């Protein structure tokens, strides 16, 4: 029969009482040790007050300037995908290159967004927060046209940025190569591709004045030096192809097309344009068309000062007129895109952003899931172009007329550039994803990559990592200690059995 523990409890006697006392003390000590260990684990793992760092980048594009504020946890600086975008402020008015007639205004235009940044970044961190301004194709064109005016514009923006409480780190015109490279770094950083064995994603950026294509080709070596970049990131080498086509952003491409149409036409001021909706009318000053180095001066030979554009919404014809701005007659390499520029065979997935996204998104051709097939994209653009302007306007009354009137041209231009310019076939088209934002709600673009580079946040070598996180380490230590204490207690009980137990008193 199993002895009944309770029925065997002693009622009197001194020895069992001493042993029970020893047991009680032991139990008490054990409980104390357990409480101490748990308390230690809890206090060790209590989240530390967040040490957040901030960085500000101004993207001074040809069409407008955007200010981005990024934040990241200081202790995770060298991890990938830890930077969040906390603010994007769109500067009202023109891009900075548009202030060539009144350069001071370029600086003043940034003041509202700089104020906004001061509200977003905590005041005690203003002085340590770096601020960078990078100007792209609009300023590249202005520099080519008139270097001293471009310098004055940069001085004006520098003055505004220096007068802010942030740590000003420079305002400069970045090269097309840098623009392509930093866009590629941004998306691959956000997609976590640098720390995975999977490949990287190519980057396609369509701005107002230039467009960039950047990817890691299969083929080596890269045949032209100016299209070749070499990076060592997180312990891996990357040979990257990049090219920036100045004048092939969508605003300049439209000018190129109009200038080419004018040359081909009988040089009359009335131009029937298949890239605008039927019933659409636009009057343009000829002098506005020929104001930059993208278009060689043909202005003088024209006998009129204004151009009357009249849309007829014919996608196929539009495509033909756009085709003329891509010169494919010569190629000094094994393969080219256009204008004699080297392009290796397309490789891997691509993320397409900026105007690639704005336009495709408007046309409902961006999906989170599988990409929309090329033939469906073509038929959608074709149908959209053929719609009468008054109907389009009535359907989208809130969209800026400049944007709305140009979606037909822009959609057709994107198809021409990707299909004819870069050679995205029906099959390859499926590898393009049109992206507005990547993970963590960060806008796709060159600015994040630029900041990561300038703040040395992407190390060349893989940072050494501990096998366990801090929390797992402390948890494991507590668990092992408890097991150890339990084992010790059990062995003590087994080998030095207190008399009360030996006598079966408890």
Ligand X SMILES: Nc1nc2c(ncn2[C@@H]2O[C@H](COP(=O)(O)OP(=O)(O)OP(=O)(O)O)[C@@H](O)[C@H]2O)c(=O)[nH]1
* Catalytic residue numbers, as ranges: 179
Q: Which is nearer to ligand X, 64 or 319 (CB)?
A: 64
> Which parts of 70-109 interact with ligand X (CB under 6 A)?
95
Residue 432 Cα to chain centre, angstroms: 16
403 binds, among Ca ion, ligand X, none (CB under 5 to 8 A by kind): ligand X
- Of 37-45, 61-69, 188-196, 214-222, the segment contacting ligand X by CB under 6 A is 61-69
- Of 248-256, 289-297, 454-462, 482-490, the segment contacting ligand X by CB under 6 A is 248-256
Q: How far is the CB of 400 from ligand X (least distance, A)?
A: 8
Neighbours of 491 (CB within 10 A): 10
Q: Does residue 138 touch ligand X according to CB under 6 A?
A: yes
Give the dihedral sign, CA 424/362/137/249: positive
Q: How far is the CB of 459 from ligand X (least distance, A)?
A: 29
Q: Does residue 61 touch Ca ion according to CB under 5 A?
A: yes
**Which residue from 98, 107, 183, 207 is in contact with Ca ion, where contact means CB under 5 A?**
207
Q: Does the annotation flag 198 for ligand binding?
A: no
Rounded Cα gap, residues 445 and 146, in angstroms: 27
Between the two ends of the chain, the Cα-to-Cα distance in Å is: 17
Q: Does residue 180 touch ligand X according to CB under 6 A?
A: no
Q: Does residue 351 touch ligand X according to CB under 6 A?
A: no
Q: How far is the CB of 188 from ligand X (least distance, A)?
A: 19
**Which residue from 134, 208, 278, 311 is in contact with ligand X, where contact means CB under 6 A?**
208
What are the beta bridge partners of residue 434?
A: 352
- Find all residues with CB under 8 Å of 315, minimum gap 6, and list them: 274, 378, 381, 382, 385, 386, 408, 412
> Which parts of 458-477 interact with ligand X (CB under 6 A)?
none
Q: Which is nearer to ligand X, 71 or 251 (CB)?
A: 251
103 binds, among Ca ion, ligand X, none (CB under 5 to 8 A by kind): none
Q: How far is the CB of 439 from ligand X (least distance, A)?
A: 20
Q: Does the annotation flag 208 for ligand binding?
A: yes
Q: How far is the CB of 249 from Ca ion (least distance, A)?
A: 8
- Of 13-21, 98-106, 203-211, 323-331, the segment contacting Ca ion by CB under 5 A is 203-211
Q: Does residue 214 touch ligand X according to CB under 6 A?
A: no
**Bridge-based pairing state of the strands 281-285 and 84-90:** unpaired
Q: Does the annotation flag 313 for ligand binding?
A: no
Question: Which residue of the chain is nearest Ca ion when measured via CB?
Answer: 207
Q: How far is the CB of 118 from Ca ion (least distance, A)?
A: 25
Torsion of CA 3, 8, 14, 19, to 10 degrees: 40
Polymer length in residues for the chain: 506
* Neighbour-count burial of 215, counting CB atoms closer than 10 A to its CB (0-12 exposed, 13-18 middle, 19+ buried): buried
Q: Report the run of H or E that residue 69 belongs to, with start and end.
A: strand 65-73
Backbone dihedral region for residue 164 (phi beyond 0: left; psi -120 to 50: alpha; all else: beta): beta
Q: How far is the CB of 342 from Ca ion (least distance, A)?
A: 23
Question: Count of alpha carbons within 13 Å of 398, Cβ hemisphere only?
Answer: 1
**Which residue from 55, 207, 351, 371 is in contact with ligand X, where contact means CB under 6 A?**
207
Q: Does the annotation flag 61 for ligand binding?
A: no
Q: Does residue 160 touch ligand X according to CB under 6 A?
A: no
**Which residue from 41, 137, 171, 253 is in contact with ligand X, where contact means CB under 6 A?**
137
Give the dihedral sign, CA 266/267/268/272: positive
**Which residue from 103, 354, 378, 447 is in contact with ligand X, where contact means CB under 6 A?**
354
Three-state secondary structure readout of 336-372? ECCCCCECCCCCCCEEEEEHHHHHHHHCCCCCCCCCC
- Find all residues with CB under 8 Å of 502, minimum gap 6, and list them: none
Q: Does residue 217 touch Ca ion according to CB under 5 A?
A: no
Q: Are 384 and 357 in contact (CB under 8 A)?
A: no
Binding site for ligand X (CB under 6 A): 61-64, 95, 136-138, 207-210, 249-251, 354-355, 358, 362, 403
Binding site for Ca ion (CB under 5 A): 61, 207
Binding region for ATP: 208-212
């Amino acid at each position: 029969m199993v002895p009944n523990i309770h029925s065997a409890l002693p009622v009197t006697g001194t020895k069992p009482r001493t042993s029970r006392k020893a047991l009680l003390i032991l139990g008490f000590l054990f409980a104390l040790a357990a409480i101490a260990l748990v308390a230690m684990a809890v206090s060790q793992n209590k989240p530390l007050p967040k040490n957040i760092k901030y960085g500000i980048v101004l993207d001074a594009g040809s069409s407008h300037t955007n200010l981005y504020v990024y934040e990241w946890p200081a202790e995770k600086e060298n991890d990938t995908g830890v930077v969040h975008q906390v603010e994007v402020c769109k500067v009202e008015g023109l891009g900075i290159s548009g202030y060539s007639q009144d350069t001071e205004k370029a600086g003043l235009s940034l003041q509202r967004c700089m104020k906004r940044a001061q509200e977003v970044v905590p005041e005690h961190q203003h002085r340590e927060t770096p601020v960078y301004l990078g100007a792209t194709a609009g300023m590249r064109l202005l520099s080519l046209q008139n270097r001293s005016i471009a310098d004055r514009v940069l001085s004006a923006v520098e003055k505004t940025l220096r007068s802010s409480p942030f740590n000003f780190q420079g305002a400069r015109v970045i090269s097309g190569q840098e623009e392509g490279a930093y866009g590629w770094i941004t998306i691959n950083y956000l997609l976590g591709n640098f720390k995975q064995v999977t490949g990287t994603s190519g980057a396609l950026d369509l701005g107002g004045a230039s467009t960039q294509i950047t990817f890691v080709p299969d083929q080596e070596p890269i045949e032209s030096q100016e299209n070749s970049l070499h990076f060592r990131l997180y312990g891996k080498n990357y040979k990257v192809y990049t090219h920036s086509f100045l004048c092939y952003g969508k605003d300049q491409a439209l000018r190129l097309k109009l200038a080419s149409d004018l040359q081909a036409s009988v040089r009359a001021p009335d131009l029937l344009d298949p890239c605008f909706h039927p019933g659409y009318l636009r009057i343009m000053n000829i002098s506005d068309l020929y104001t930059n180095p993208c278009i060689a001066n043909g202005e003088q030979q024209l006998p009129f000062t204004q151009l009357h554009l009249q849309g007829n919404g014919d996608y196929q014809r539009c495509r033909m007129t756009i085709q003329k701005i891509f010169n494919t007659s010569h190629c000094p390499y094994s393969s080219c895109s256009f204008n004699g520029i080297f392009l290796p065979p397309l490789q891997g997935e691509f993320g397409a952003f900026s105007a690639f996204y704005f336009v495709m998104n408007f046309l409902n051709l961006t999906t989170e899931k599988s990409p929309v097939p090329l033939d469906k994209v073509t038929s959608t653009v074709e149908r959209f172009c053929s719609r009468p302007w008054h109907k389009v306007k009535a359907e989208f009354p809130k969209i800026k007329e400049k944007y709305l009137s140009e979606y037909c041209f822009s959609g057709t231009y994107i198809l021409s550039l990707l299909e004819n310019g870069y050679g995205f076939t029906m099959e390859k088209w499926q590898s393009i994803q049109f992206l507005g934002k990547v993970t963590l709600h960060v806008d796709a673009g060159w600015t994040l990559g630029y900041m990561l580079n300038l703040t040395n946040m992407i190390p060349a070598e893989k940072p050494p990592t501990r096998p366990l996180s801090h929390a797992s380490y402390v948890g494991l230590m507590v668990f092992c200690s408890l097991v150890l204490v339990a084992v010790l207690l059990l062995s003590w009980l087994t080998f030095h059995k207190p008399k009360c137990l030996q006598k079966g008193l408890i």
